[in-house]
Structure 1
């Protein structure tokens, strides 16, 4: 949560209505945290312990791990809002929490990109996939995703700082001036250039290029499914589209906010403040509630509640490379699934 010193300073005279809004936001964030821990924990339990390890389950095991990582950060930001944007956790925590949040974002989008490329090769190059789509290669890609995501998040370790503003409040914000002098004329111009470079870099690698890749892959996959009537790929395909849509809807306000911060002098505080609240909730809700969508994708509402959670999750993520028939119909998983999945 990047908050300008002006915004924090103005909050020193927080009216009762604003304090009530902060309390409501904090309560919603805590509820989101509880739901996210339970839901993501359930998925990790099923994907990690109750299903045979395949490339598909490996992708989603680490995707849900990204969601859980971000969910565990929510209480810190909820307290930050509850205290009227006064950071009480220290400089090191300010840097680390935002770096971990950024790492979760990058890892999520990279995993979703690999998932979309995986679906594309499955439908358009099935022979190549059968020969080269192996667990060792998938593990190498996953490790590469986490290492790359950490590397791309290191700017937070350098630029994220705590800063005392008017009223004695402490803000956890970015200082791109590369100097302890926040108002220095010589460093402000360089700071704006650094800010612009980081924003463009994050927007391209964390949003635009993955979005174009994922959209192109799923359009091609959808056309191939329609052409060849590949019903066997229906359920996993819908789950992956839901994951992609929820991610981009959840993180689009984040990139809009940081883009507008480049023009903070021309942009009213009310606009950037509203986007701050919106992107905080959309990113938190994306991490906590997206897995719930997977249970409802392709199924009727009443069928979800009449089927065990274990069966639903397994049906959503079973590796369709090994199956050549529809995987889930109402309450039942095909018998071939039972022969290929060992329940611990």
Structure 2
């Protein structure tokens, strides 16, 4: 989707992929409706799930290395799912962005931030497991909550740095149809020396695509595979066949990560590498919104995996929800009791005032006047 605005002397409709995107804004197809439905469903479920995980792990689970890993994964997923309602609204309006260029950049950057944080964290967790099995003495002496917090901080900083180019080249792009896209505008930050705009846009597009593929997917996946291969070999030599519960959890999360993000990266690279106007390029452009939706699904699946892999976490969630409901009910009952008490106090006060008025003695002058009249 090579967008070089017309004020840069490049017609955005000249590229077949650009024309595909423009055509997608013309009307609502059944695929668009289905994608919008999935986005709305994923955003609702994902926000609730990840809020529960962040709340329970953050406030009810004792601090440990494992809880810090899970807390950071859940925080990243919460950011991603919290941005979904805005993307759902964007798609429901026929791919028309109405919230300004700044929020367009921020909203899109959250998607890529989650992509990088998830990949980096899973790679770090895999290396952590590997060190625990291969170097248990070193892990016992150096593996601490403080160290893991620092590592998570570095991961978030690196992910933000990797997200900066995607923030810079995101923009709102007016189309001849009247729609406003929130998409890449590669014709920004142009060099001072002579250049070919179309070639420059293509280079930037390819650079960002391969940056995502390698830094957010292939390199973390390679680290994960090598780490768990080393763990399995070491455990097999020791005769340990049963994996740790947390190892099973991480394997499930990694499988979810690969299955959810592989289609997105495949179609991104297919769009970049296929010849202009090729059927594969057109197919990739049409499939990318669905592939991005599947990528968001990863943020919805992770909390489910945490709960099913950690029975203790499930019980803590139930306990936390019960505690919250008890607190809410207690506040409501206290408020109701306070109102009833206030109402009763008002009634009692009114009765006392009435009784007081009825019991006021008649003055002597009035009694004498009454007696005189009666005589």
Under TM normalisation by the shorter chain, which class is it?
A: 0.7 to 0.9
State yes or no: 1:255 paired with 2:265.
yes
Determine helix, strand or coil for the equivalent of 2:188: coil
Determine helix, strand or coil for the equivalent of 1:168: coil
Equivalent in the alignment of 1:310: 315
Pairing 1:22-101 to 2, within 5 Å after superposition: 22-101=32-111
User: Cα distance, 1:2 vs. partner?
Assistant: 9.7
State yes or no: 1:241 paired with 2:241.
no
Pairing 1:1-344 to 2, within 5 Å after superposition: 5-14=18-27, 18=29, 20-178=30-188, 186-230=196-240, 233-262=243-272, 263=274, 265-268=276-279, 270-297=282-309, 309-310=314-315
Q: Runs of 4+ in structure 1 displaced over 6 angstroms?
A: none
Structure 2 Cα separation of the partners of residues 255 and 201 of structure 1? 11
User: Cα distance, 1:230 vs. partner?
Assistant: 4.1
User: Cα distance, 1:129 vs. partner?
Assistant: 0.1
Structure 2 Cα separation of the partners of residues 312 and 22 of structure 1? 35
1:109 to 1:178, Cα distance in 2 relative to 1, 3 A: same
Determine helix, strand or coil for the equivalent of 2:86: helix
Structure 2 Cα separation of the partners of residues 275 and 8 of structure 1? 11
Structure 1 Cα separation of the partners of residues 64 and 278 of structure 2? 48
Determine helix, strand or coil for the equivalent of 1:167: coil
Is the 8 Å Cα contact of residues 8 and 169 (structure 1) preserved in structure 2? no
Give the unaligned 5+ runs of structure 2.
4-16, 320-375
User: Cα distance, 1:231 vs. partner?
Assistant: 6.5
Is the 8 Å Cα contact of residues 199 and 259 (structure 1) preserved in structure 2? yes
Is the 8 Å Cα contact of residues 46 and 310 (structure 1) preserved in structure 2? no
Structure 2 Cα separation of the partners of residues 170 and 102 of structure 1? 21
Structure 1 Cα separation of the partners of residues 156 and 128 of structure 2? 18
User: Cα distance, 1:116 vs. partner?
Assistant: 0.1
What are the Cα deviations for residues 318-344 of structure 1, in whole angstroms up to 9, with x where unaligned? xxxxxxxxxxxxxxxxxxxxxxxxxxx
Structure 1 Cα separation of the partners of residues 270 and 159 of structure 2? 24
Is the 8 Å Cα contact of residues 295 and 313 (structure 1) preserved in structure 2? no
1:271 to 1:61, Cα distance in 2 relative to 1, 3 A: same
1:202 to 1:28, Cα distance in 2 relative to 1, 3 A: closer
Q: Which has the larger radius of gyration?
A: 2
Structure 1 Cα separation of the partners of residues 68 and 252 of structure 2? 18
User: Cα distance, 1:131 vs. partner?
Assistant: 0.3
Is the 8 Å Cα contact of residues 308 and 314 (structure 2) preserved in structure 1? no
- Number of equivalent positions: 301
Point out which structure has higher relative CO (alpha carbons under 8 A, 6+ apart): 1
What are the Cα deviations for residues 133-166 of structure 1, in whole angstroms up to 9, with x where unaligned? 0122111111111111101101122111111113
Give the unaligned 5+ runs of structure 1.
315-344
User: Cα distance, 1:179 vs. partner?
Assistant: 6.2
